[in-house]
Amino acid sequence: MTGAIIFASATCLLQFAAFYFAHIRTFHISVMVSLLIFDLTFPIYLFMTRDWYNQLIAQGDILTFGVWIHFMLVITLYVLYAVQVQVARAIVSGKEDAERVIALKKDHRAQGLGILITRPMMIFTGALLAPEVATTVVG
């Protein structure tokens, strides 16, 4: 599982690069769409490779603060992604006037900053909840 944590952290660095180089539109769009797909499919990978029943139910982790904070960060990230996609589609469509596009770009950037704050926090809380990390920290 440590490999998954390292990989998720590396994707975070790639996301920072895509945000910084937003003026290179093809790079920005391809990286952000790839990361969105990664973030949507990563829970499926985790579900298939971990013993969720043992960790959450048998050990009682379902009632811990860390699990709920992580869950709320995941939901927040998905909501930000949904809004980002809607605004990006409006910007790229070309149906809006120039003044509206400027306002949409400001919104898009603000939402992007929200993602840049939420995603590393989500990765960090997920890393703290990983079985091998939790075992090392606790015992």
Whether residue 136 is contained in a domain is answered as no
In whole angstroms, what is the distance from residue 59 CA to residue 50 CA? 14
Q: What pLDDT sits at residue 33? A: 94
With respect to residue 66, please indicate whether it lies within any of the assigned structural domains.
yes
Q: Based on the structure, what is the number of domains in the chain?
A: 1
Q: What per-residue confidence (pLDDT) applies to 132?
A: 65
Please state, in angstroms and as integers, the Cα–Cα distance from residue 27 to each residue in 15, 18, 20, 112, 113, following that order: 11, 7, 11, 15, 18
Task: Give the pLDDT score at 5.
Answer: 87
Sites in the chain below the pLDDT cut of 50: none
Residue 24 in domain: yes
Q: Quote the domain boundaries for residue 83.
A: 2-129
For residue 46, is it within any domain?
yes
Q: What pLDDT does residue 3 have?
A: 83
Q: How far apart are CA 35 and CA 31, in angstroms?
A: 6
Task: Note whether residue 79 is domain-resident.
Answer: yes
For residue 80, being part of any structural domain is answered with yes
pLDDT at 64: 84
